[in-house]
Each structure stands twice: as structure tokens, then as C-alpha cells.
């Protein structure tokens, strides 16, 4: 059995280059959720994927519709976690610094973050268990970078082997097999 993980295509929204407040970070994230993707090609490795699952966020859903010809099951459980600024104070910081602060807060289970890593891990483990319970057919999953990193770990626990993911490349297939 093979499970292919694909990160959604690149979103057509650049990071802000000026200093931004928490509310501007939130606004940027809101806009990012609904921004279109740059359509690209994905080499599916010549594998006859029997089923496809995708996050229900537009960027992942559109990627799945572009690369897979059959029916696609969209799952809210495959969404990436929505980060939140760690404060509402009206301070301006570089956007990349907000990103680093959010990531640290998330790993430390800071109250500002809506879903801690352990909950995400459990959510994605349940998705994989459900997919695996449906049979041994080759499955394609289109999701998000952080989700893919968690799923890679969960797949290894279930006897799959495949590439070690750093930050997954947009639109690239990563195959795990057992």
C-alpha cells in the first residue's frame, strides 16, 4: 500500500514586508485563507491512486482537483492549524518575527494558540486510521506542510517508510509505502 502526501500549490500572496500589528497579521491570515493558488504540475509517480483525500481549505481542495481526476473526499480534519498572534497589544513587528513567536507559542502550548500539537497529532492519527481501515488501496492526501510533517510521523508508526520531510515543497508528491 502506498500513501502519497502532497502539499497544496503555492498561494499567490506574499508576506508583508513592513512592520505589522497583531490585527494586521490576523487580516493577512484571513486573506491568505481565500487567496488563489499558482496552478502547477505534480508528478504523481505513475501510481494509479485509487482514492484522494484533501483538506477542505480552498488551496488544498483546488490543488487536489487539479492533480487528481477522480472523486475527492474533502476533510476538515486535514486542515492546518490556524495560528493566532500571541498578543493583541498594538505593537509592530516584522511579519517573520510574528511567525516565529507563534510557532514557539504553539510548541509551548501557549493559551493564545487554538489547537496544541498533541491535539493535532491525535486528529491526524484518527484521519489516517480511518483511511487505512477502508482498505489497502493506494491513497493520495493533499494537505498542508505542518499536517504532512505530523502524518509522516504517524505513517512511520504504522510501518510505512518514505522520505524524511523538512518543509514540504508546494505541489510535490512524497510517497510512503509498506
- The tally of CA atoms less than 13 A away on the side-chain side of residue 139 is 21
Beta strands per DSSP E along 18-118? 19-20, 51-55, 72-75, 93-94
Strand partners, 170: 7
Residues 141-159 pLDDT 10s: 999 999 999 999 999 999 9
Residue ranges per structural domain of the chain: 2-177
In what helix (H) or strand (E) does residue 143 lie, and over which residues does it extend? strand 139-143
Indicate the pTM of the whole model.
Answer: 0.92
Strand partners, 5: 141, 174
Pairing of strands 51-55, 19-20: unpaired
Q: Could you give the angle at the alpha carbon of 115 between the alpha carbons of 112 and 119, nearest 5°?
A: 145
Say what the pLDDT of residue 92 is. Answer: 96
Say what the pLDDT of residue 83 is. Answer: 77
Domain 2-177 in this protein, CATH class: alpha beta
Residues 8-47 pLDDT 10s: 999 999 999 999 999 999 999 999 999 999 999 999 999 9
Amino acid at each position: 500500500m502506498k500513501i502519497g502526501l502532497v502539499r497544496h500549490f503555492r498561494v499567490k500572496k506574499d508576506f508583508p514586508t513592513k512592520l505589522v500589528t497583531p490585527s494586521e497579521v490576523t487580516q493577512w491570515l484571513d486573506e491568505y485563507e481565500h487567496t488563489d493558488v499558482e496552478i502547477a504540475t505534480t508528478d504523481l509517480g505513475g501510481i494509479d491512486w485509487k482514492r484522494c483525500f484533501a483538506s477542505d481549505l480552498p488551496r488544498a481542495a483546488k490543488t487536489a482537483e487539479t492533480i487528481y481526476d477522480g472523486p475527492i473526499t474533502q476533510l476538515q480534519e486535514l486542515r492546518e492549524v490556524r495560528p493566532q498572534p500571541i498578543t493583541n497589544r498594538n505593537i509592530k513587528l516584522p511579519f517573520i518575527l510574528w511567525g516565529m513567536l507563534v510557532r514557539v507559542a504553539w510548541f509551548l502550548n501557549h493559551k493564545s494558540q487554538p489547537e496544541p500539537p498533541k491535539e493535532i497529532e491525535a486528529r491526524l492519527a484518527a484521519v489516517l486510521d480511518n483511511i487505512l481501515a477502508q482498505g489497502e488501496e493506494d491513497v493520495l492526501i493533499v494537505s498542508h506542510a505542518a499536517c504532512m510533517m505530523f502524518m509522516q510521523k504517524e505513517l512511520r508508526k504504522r510501518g510505512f517508510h518514505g522520505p524524511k520531510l523538512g518543509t514540504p515543497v508546494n505541489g510535490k508528491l512524497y510517497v510512503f509505502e509498506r
